Amino acid sequence: MVFCSGDEDQAQERIDKLAKILREQEVGSIIHAAGVGDISCIIQRDEGRAPMRHSFHWSSEKLYYVEEPLLRHLEPPLSIYLELVSYFTFQVLVLF
């Protein structure tokens, strides 16, 4: 899924809107029932700026798709090769 956005606020607004849609029980349940476990989203920004990448995975506890902050801005096909599962219990502090 690719959205085009020239403004940082617009890009964040779009990802927030997608996250809200994925939290809706009806939508999430239909997608999950179809066998989709992970959803990756790439938002293209202005020329010369790296695209924003977000990955959502199905949470069996919450029963909706949640974003995994550790996988944010990683290339979606490559993120599955990282063994980050052992770090999911830690709180991550972004320092930039």
Q: Is residue 95 part of a domain?
A: no
pLDDT of res. 5: 45
Closest CA to 55 of 37, 69, 42, 40: 40
Q: Which ranges of the chain have pLDDT less than 70?
A: 1-7, 73, 75-92, 96
Closest CA to 42 of 80, 69, 4, 84: 4
pLDDT of res. 90: 64
Q: Is residue 34 part of a domain?
A: yes
| SS3 call for 56 | strand
Contacts of 19 (CB under 8 A, 6+ apart): 56, 65, 67
The pTM of the full predicted model, rounded to 2 decimals, is: 0.66
Number of domains in the chain: 1
> For residue 67, what are the domain limits?
2-87
pLDDT of res. 1: 53
Rounded Cα gap, residues 80 and 46, in angstroms: 27
